[in-house]
Each structure stands twice: as structure tokens, then as C-alpha cells.
Amino acid sequence: MTWATRFLFLLLGAPLLVGSVLALAPAFAYYMPDGSFNDPLNHSSNHPAGLIPPAFFALVSTPGIATSAMTSLLAGLLTPALSLVSVFLFLAATQTGRASKLIAQLAAPVLAIPHAAAAFALALLLAPTGVASRLVATLAGWELPPDYLFINHPNSVALVLGLALKEAPFVLLVALAALPSTAAPRRVALARTLGYGPTTAWLLTVAPALYPLIRLPLFAVIVFASSTVDVALILGPSLPPTLSVRLVEWFVAPEIEQRQLASAAALLQLFISLSALGIWLLFERLIARAYATIAARGAPREASRVSRFEAVLTPVGNTLLPISLVLVLMGIAALCLASVGGQWRYPTILPTTWSLQHWSAALSSWQTPLFNAIAIALLSVTAAIVLSLVTLEAQARSRAGTASLSTFLYLPLLIPQVVFISGIAVFAERTRLPPSLLLVAVGHFFFVMPYVYLTLQSGYARLDSRWLLLAKTLGASRTVCFWRVRIPLMSTQLITAAMLGLTISLSLYLPTQILGAGRVPTITTEAIALVSSGSRGTIGTWALLQSALPTLCFMLALLLPRLIWSKRKGML
Amino acid sequence: MNNGLELQNVSLRVGSRQLLALSCSVAPGEVITVMGASGTGKSTLLAFIAGFLGDAFTAEGKVFLSGKELNTVPAEQRRIGLLFQDALLFPHLSVAANLKFGLIRKVGESPEARDSLIEQALEKIGLAGFGDRDPASLSGGQQSRVALMRLLLSEPHAILLDEPFSNLDMQLREEIRTFTFDTLRAANVPAFLVTHDLADAQAAGGRIIAL
């Protein structure tokens, strides 16, 4: 292992460890008879007290805590399950033909839209007075909006749907990236000659080979869905909210008891996220066993049995994922309408009057949040790119292995954001670091780094090693090799990594809110602060503003290489 | 002064398996051909001489170039040029910038002098005026010629050729082969060719070592 790799292990590992410990430790504080309390982080106190710290009693006796925890657990399991099923059925039904390429092109920009903006879009689309309801009302001749609760409903359908709409494109792109290494067409062709229909053949032969390759990203989805704060604030149940939302409420409260309660909740959150992972692993086993049973049953001999299974799965696979993408796009349209709508009587599909007042109101207050968001994104992404390149370059020169590091880099994505980030906030408080833009950028770095590193790592792996050998035989030093051969030849991956990092940072809510202590507003925190405002127009405007920069980054990732290398066809 | 390339008791192994053992010397202007089927360690031998042998291999013996031992010299300072199966023109650089990449920097030389040097070099390979072109817009034969000229402009003291014609179609192979060996003889540097094509060896016109 090179020194750079070790440094990176330390740089990522130490804050993760310290952050998690500091987030959980206050839960173990004891009250003394004289009213003071025994702080486990303060070694001057040495009073042993009861066996179970009071914060746990307080947490257990909090009304609705079990419901909150269950909601988080269910969201953590249903979101990845829904995403995985829709993606696998889609790939099985379309056999990665032209349709899947088109959908992948549609899925990529959806990936760039921040979770919060997508959640707002879904809310404006599917609410009782939303665009979808108006479409139905116009057709069915309704006069009044239907009486149903979608957003904030205790059954969490909106929360899971909102999360799955954003995670399915992610799973799709990860799966498409891994698919070539499974030799899918050959597997399907073989199974079809044995009597299986194409969809069934894909599910039986390609899926088991593909799944292990996308497991780690799926684990990240599980942890994210079980601990998300922004989407849960917008779409999740409110009575009671998810565990993560309540944790943040307690954490930012001024009372020390609340802070201890937040720590106990962080421990519970960690337990819930790990439980979701554990249950997922259990299902993996069960499904693997079911697969073995199905495979052992042998190929269907009668045509009717082939077609029955196929006839159900193929249309479902063909439609499920495209519908989810259409929902997001319709939601974006709903945001646009709302942002320029004045009066908007119920059954009409388009606003009755048009107005730019929401935009002019937003434009008067967006400079600071915009500046902050861009500064934080640039700082964290620059740091991530420089550190990734230093590490990868050192590894390339020493030919050391990299596998352990890339797994390790997933850690920030496998520990619930709330737990880790609140611990970093406690650390900053204890070392008297004031909330600042720089501190927020440090927080963002941990979530940007995995994606930047993994993108650049694949760039390093894919670069034909003969380029560097050639440069060396022409007398180029290591420095020349790096700057004049490696960097230009990897420019497309560098741009992709930078834009991906910027997109992630621009969309991050929790690290910004907690580490900035509300004093470093960004477009994202401002947009989410509007959740309780209830103004359709303001929400539409800010959700679009929040999506604008990530979408721009996404387009730049596609356009920049074409612009830079317009005269070098070999680079495209 | 150039006394050629000399291999003294070179032996290459992968694990405990011996790949090859070889001693020979190549005089300036001579092209020596090493022939063998794939898996006999031909490319490994070139990697050893050029200075980037993989970790999986162990090597014994010494390489001398113009009387100087090379074993501990890093690849970029060995002054050994390598011609690959593909032309490998840097896709991000123009044709002229590709040629300039390996050009030895001389003290006090003006940029204009370097430019006219490149222009002369392009003329020599029949590509006058091609300097600003995108390498991707060149034909396969033109790319091969640029690659060879880029190699010569780096003023190597020895040249290694790793099956340089195997990716060319029959007609082009003949033309490029003649051009390459004529150019190499004129440059008067020792050259080391590995191939499995007997026609290559015959065209090279030097000694043949069979592995």
C-alpha cells in the first residue's frame, strides 16, 4: 500500500470513526443526584450510575418512536427493492435493445435532479389538487378535488415512491455499466435454445451474474433510503415523522436533554439502517435458494408454460421503469407551471392567470445561497479530485492493489448521513470550530469523494498502458507523462468526475444544514426550508432553481469534451 | 559514439519457469530479428530491454548500450525507442505536436528552428503540410510513418520493434516494412525486431535468432 493510500484511509476513516463515536456518545450520559450529569466525553466525572442511561428511557418513552423507526426501516427496504425489481424487469424485457438505450439517456438527467426537487415535483404532481388530479378531473368531469391524503400520509407511500423514482435511474445506470462484463447476449441465447423465453432467460441467467456487481451501490441505496432527511421532510409522514427527521429536530434543539435524546436516536438510526441491510442480506439468501429451486425444475417443455410467465413479466418490465421516469418529467412540468402560475382554479390543467412574481421574489434573495452552494461545491470537488489523482497516481507508480480502498470509500455512503454528520458537528463544537462555509465543504467532501474517486479510478484502469510506455521511451519524465499524456487522455473522465461531484454537492441538504448551523444557506437548504410554506408557486420556483445548476453540470459533462476536442476525433 | 546494443547472459523467468536465455550484440545499422511463437517471451524481452518489466517476471543478465550498463537506468533515460503494433499517435495532439513530443530539447534553439525541423521531418515522410492535422484524419500508412518519424526525432540510441507490421493489411505491410527498414538503416542505430512473420525477418536483412 502506498503512502498516499494510507493517508486517504486515515483522512476518511478517522472522521468517520470520530464522527460516529461523538454522535452516539452523549446517549450514555448520566444525571447525577445534584442535577449535573456525567458526560462520558468528559473524563473529570467518575460517578457510576444506573445501568441504562436515561437518554434511552427518554427515547423509548417518546410517543410514536416505534412507528418512526418502522417507517425508516420500511423505506430502507422497499426503496431498493422497488428500484431493483423495476430495473431488472426492464432490462429483462427490453434485452438492452434500442429501448433501453433511450431510457438510459432519459434516466441520466433524472439522476442529476436533486432528491428534494424530485420530491417537490412528485408532491405538486400527485397532491389532491396536483396536475395529475386535474388531468383526471378534466376527463371525468370532477368539480372538486378528490379527498385523499398522499403527501405526509402515515402509510409512507409518497416517501417510498419519491425515493424509488430517484434511486431507480441510479440503479439502472450502475447496472448498465456492469452489464457488459456478464456477456448477457450469450447467456440469453443459450437459455433460449434450452426452451426459455427471452425475459425469463435474462432473469434466470443474467440477473444472478449482474446482481453481485451492483450490490455495493444497492447497499448505499438501502442506507440512504432508511436515513434520508430531506425527502422525508417533504414527502414522509408527519405524525410521527421518520426517525431521521426527528433525530435532526432533537439535534438542533438548544436543550442538552434533547441533544442526548438525539444521540440515543442516532444509535437507533444506526441499528435501523444496519437492520435494513441485515434483512436485505437475508432476502438475498432466500432469493438465491428460490433461484436454485427454479433452475433445478428444468426448462419448460410446453409452449403454454413459457408464454404464461413471459406474458406477465414482459409488459410489466417494459412499462414500470419508463412510467417512473415519465412521472418525474411530469412532476418537473408541474413545477414549471406552478412557478409561473398566478390564480389556478381547481379542475383547469393550466393556471388561469400567469405571473412572474414567484421568480422575482426568488431572484431578490438567491445571490447568497447561490454563491454559497457554488463555493462549497467547488471547494469539496477540487479537494476530492486532487486527492483522488494523488492517490491513484501513487498507486499506478507503485503498481499496488486498489481493491480494498474502493470498498472502503463506500463507507461514508454506508453509515447514515445523520449519524456521521451530527458527530462531526459535535466535534466542531468541542474544538470550537465555528460553523462556516469551509466546515460545510469538509462535510460535503466525504460524500463527493467516493463518486469522484470511483470515476477517476475507472479512468485510470481504462487508459491503455502503452500510452505511458510510449511516452517514456520518447524520453518523457513522470511529470510530463502525467500532465501531457495522462491528464489530457483522461480529460473526459475528469470532466465527468468533476460534474458528478458538483451535482452531488449542490444537492446535499443535511451536511449543509447541520454543519452550517443554518448560517450557511444554499439553494438546497432554502428550497427545503419552504416545505412548510405551502405556497405552490414559491416551492415550484425554488425547486427549479435547485435543479438548474446540477442540470447545467450534467449538460456540461456531455458538451465540454465535445467542445474541447472538436478538432481531435480520436478523443471522442 | 555508438557501439551498439549488447545483451549479456540475459535470462527471463516467470515464477520458476524459464522463458528464454540469450546473449547477443547488435551493431549500429543492424536489425536483428528474434522469432518465436507467442508465449515464448518475445515481448517480455523487449520490456526488459526498454526498462519496464512487469512484477511477475524475474530477469538476470545485463543490457549495455554504447558500452553503458542500463539495468538500473529508468526507462525514460535509456534512450531506447519502441515501435508498437499500432501507430499510437497521441489522439489529443496534432501531427506536429506528436512529432515534437519526443524531440530532444537543445539549449538556445528557437521555436522557429524546431518548427522548421518538424516541417523537414514531415517532408521526409511525404507528409509536408500535415502538421496541423488531427492524427485521426490520417490513413493507416500515414500514421505508421508519423510514428516512425516521432521515434527517430527522439534520437534513440537503439530501437525495439514489437511486431510493428502485424496490424497492417497485406498491401500496406509491404510498403511500410520497406520504408521502416530503409529509414532504420539510414539512421544507423542498432535495432531489435521481434516477430512471428518470416517475411519481416527477411526484409530486415539481419541475423535471425529463433526462440
The whole-number pLDDT of residue A302 equals 64
Interface size, chain A vs chain B, as Cβ–Cβ contacts under 8 Å: 75
The whole-number pLDDT of residue A225 equals 94
Range of the domain at A526: 3-23+69-571
Give the minimum alpha-carbon distance from A507 to chain B in angstroms, rounded to a whole number: 34
The whole-number pLDDT of residue A543 equals 92
Main-chain phi, psi angles of B80, to 5 degrees: -115, 120
Please tell me the distance from the alpha carbon of residue B80 to that of residue B49, in angstroms, as a whole number: 8
The verdict on a CB contact (< 8 Å) between A570 and B91 is yes
CB nearest to B92's CB, from A475, A481, A488: A488
The whole-number pLDDT of residue A36 equals 52
State the average pLDDT over residues A4-28: 81
Give the minimum alpha-carbon distance from A472 to chain B in angstroms, rounded to a whole number: 4
How many other CB atoms are there within 10 angstroms of residue A436's CB atom?
15
The yes-or-no verdict on residue B2 having pLDDT over 70 is: no
CB nearest to B154's CB, from A475, A477, A478: A475
The verdict on a CB contact (< 8 Å) between B84 and A466 is yes
* Core vs surface per residue B164-174: b (16+ CB within 10 A) or e: bbeebeeeebe
A175-230 pLDDT, tens digit each: 988 888 888 888 988 888 887 888 988 998 899 999 999 998 999 999 999 999 99
The whole-number pLDDT of residue A52 equals 65
Give the minimum alpha-carbon distance from A561 to chain B in angstroms, rounded to a whole number: 11
The whole-number pLDDT of residue B94 equals 94
Best A466, A469, A473 member to test B by mutation, with max B CBs in 10 Å, is A473
Smallest CA-to-CA distance from B183 within B31, B4, B25 is with: B31
Please tell me the distance from the alpha carbon of residue A71 to that of residue A157, in angstroms, as a whole number: 10
Is A477 an interface residue toward B (CB < 8 Å)?
yes
The yes-or-no verdict on residue B1 having pLDDT over 50 is: no
Measured between CA atoms, the residue of chain A closest to residue B160 is A473
The pLDDT confidence band at residue A563, using thresholds 50, 70 and 90, is very high
Three state DSSP letters for A95-145: CCCHHHHHHHHHHHHHHHCCHHHHHHHHHHHHCCCCHHHHHHHHHHCCCCC
Q: Which of A30-34, A141-145, A332-336, A373-377 has the highest mean pLDDT?
A: A373-377
Give the minimum alpha-carbon distance from A377 to chain B in angstroms, rounded to a whole number: 29
Structural domain contains residue A46: no
The rounded mean pLDDT for chain A is 86
pLDDT: which is higher, A376 or A7: A376
The verdict on a CB contact (< 8 Å) between A474 and B75 is no
Cα distances from A559 to residues A112, A486, A495, A554, in angstroms, run 15, 21, 10, 9
The verdict on a CB contact (< 8 Å) between A569 and B154 is no
The verdict on a CB contact (< 8 Å) between B82 and A473 is yes
pLDDT: which is higher, A408 or A375: A375
Is A472 an interface residue toward B (CB < 8 Å)?
yes
A44-77 pLDDT, tens digit each: 444 444 556 777 888 888 888 889 999 999 999 9
Structural domain contains residue A437: yes
| Rounded (5°) CA angle A134-A136-A139 | 110
Chain A CB contacts of B102 below 8 Å: 474-476
The yes-or-no verdict on residue A278 having pLDDT over 60 is: yes
Chain B CB contacts of A568 below 8 Å: 91-92, 134-136
Smallest CA-to-CA distance from A409 within A447, A356, A437 is with: A447
State the average pLDDT over residues A9-35: 73
* Lowest mean pLDDT, pick from A51-60, A278-287, B37-46: A51-60
Chain A CB contacts of B88 below 8 Å: 466-467, 470
The verdict on a CB contact (< 8 Å) between B88 and A470 is yes
Is A563 an interface residue toward B (CB < 8 Å)?
no
Is A473 an interface residue toward B (CB < 8 Å)?
yes
The verdict on a CB contact (< 8 Å) between A472 and B92 is no
The whole-number pLDDT of residue A421 equals 87
- Type and span of the H or E element at B8: strand B5-14
Cα distances from B40 to residues A294, B56, B209, in angstroms, run 47, 15, 12
Best B48, B90, B143, B167 member to test A by mutation, with max A CBs in 10 Å, is B90
Domain holding A397: CATH number? 1.10.3720.10
The verdict on a CB contact (< 8 Å) between A488 and B102 is no
State the average pLDDT over residues A411-423: 85
The verdict on a CB contact (< 8 Å) between B92 and A565 is yes
State the average pLDDT over residues A78-97: 91
Portion of chain B with pLDDT greater than 90, in percent: 34
State the average pLDDT over residues B194-210: 87
The yes-or-no verdict on residue A428 having pLDDT over 50 is: yes
Q: ipTM score of the complex?
A: 0.89
Structural domain contains residue A49: no
Structural domain contains residue A36: no
The verdict on a CB contact (< 8 Å) between B102 and A475 is yes
Is A467 an interface residue toward B (CB < 8 Å)?
yes
Task: Give the pairing type, strands B158-162 and B80-83.
Answer: parallel
Three state DSSP letters for B114-182: HHHHHHHHHHHCCCCCCCCCCHHHCCHHHHHHHHHHHHHHCCCCEEEEECCCCCCCHHHHHHHHHHHHH
Please tell me the distance from the alpha carbon of residue A259 to that of residue A253, in angstroms, as a whole number: 7
| Rounded (5°) CA angle A50-A53-A57 | 110
Q: Which of A281-285, A337-341, A538-542 has the highest mean pLDDT?
A: A281-285
The rounded mean pLDDT for chain B is 88
Give the minimum alpha-carbon distance from A565 to chain B in angstroms, rounded to a whole number: 7
CB nearest to B75's CB, from A473, A484, A488: A473
Best B49, B57, B92, B137 member to test A by mutation, with max A CBs in 10 Å, is B92
Give the minimum alpha-carbon distance from A173 to chain B in angstroms, rounded to a whole number: 28
The pLDDT confidence band at residue A35, using thresholds 50, 70 and 90, is very low
Portion of chain A with pLDDT greater than 70, in percent: 93
A518-535 pLDDT, tens digit each: 889 999 998 988 877 778
The yes-or-no verdict on residue A87 having pLDDT over 80 is: yes
Structural domain contains residue A274: yes
- When divided into structural domains, chain A yields a total of 1
The verdict on a CB contact (< 8 Å) between A469 and B50 is yes
pLDDT: which is higher, A501 or A4: A501
How long, in residues, is chain B?
Answer: 211
Structural domain contains residue A53: no
Is A432 an interface residue toward B (CB < 8 Å)?
no
The verdict on a CB contact (< 8 Å) between B101 and A474 is yes
Q: Which domains does chain B have, with CATH numbers?
A: 5-93+157-210 (3.40.50.300)
State the average pLDDT over residues A373-385: 96
The pLDDT confidence band at residue B171, using thresholds 50, 70 and 90, is confident
Structural domain contains residue A44: no
Best B76, B133, B137 member to test A by mutation, with max A CBs in 10 Å, is B76
CB nearest to B76's CB, from A399, A475, A571: A475
The whole-number pLDDT of residue B74 equals 87
The whole-number pLDDT of residue A192 equals 83
Question: What amino acid is encoded at A411 in this protein?
Answer: L
Structural domain contains residue A539: yes
A360-376 pLDDT, tens digit each: 888 888 889 999 999 99
Best A470, A490, A564 member to test B by mutation, with max B CBs in 10 Å, is A470
Q: What is the pTM of this model?
A: 0.86
Chain B CB contacts of A562 below 8 Å: none
The yes-or-no verdict on residue A400 having pLDDT over 60 is: no
Portion of chain A with pLDDT greater than 90, in percent: 40
DSSP assignment of B36-104 equals: --TTSSHHHHHHHHHT---TTEEEEEEEEETTEE-TTS-GGGS-EEEE-SS----TTS-HHHHHHHTPP
Smallest CA-to-CA distance from A328 within A554, A557, A112, A548 is with: A112
B90-115 pLDDT, tens digit each: 999 999 999 999 888 777 888 888 99
The whole-number pLDDT of residue A42 equals 54
CB nearest to A474's CB, from B51, B92, B154: B154
Measured between CA atoms, the residue of chain A closest to residue B53 is A469
Smallest CA-to-CA distance from B184 within B29, B21, B23, B5 is with: B29
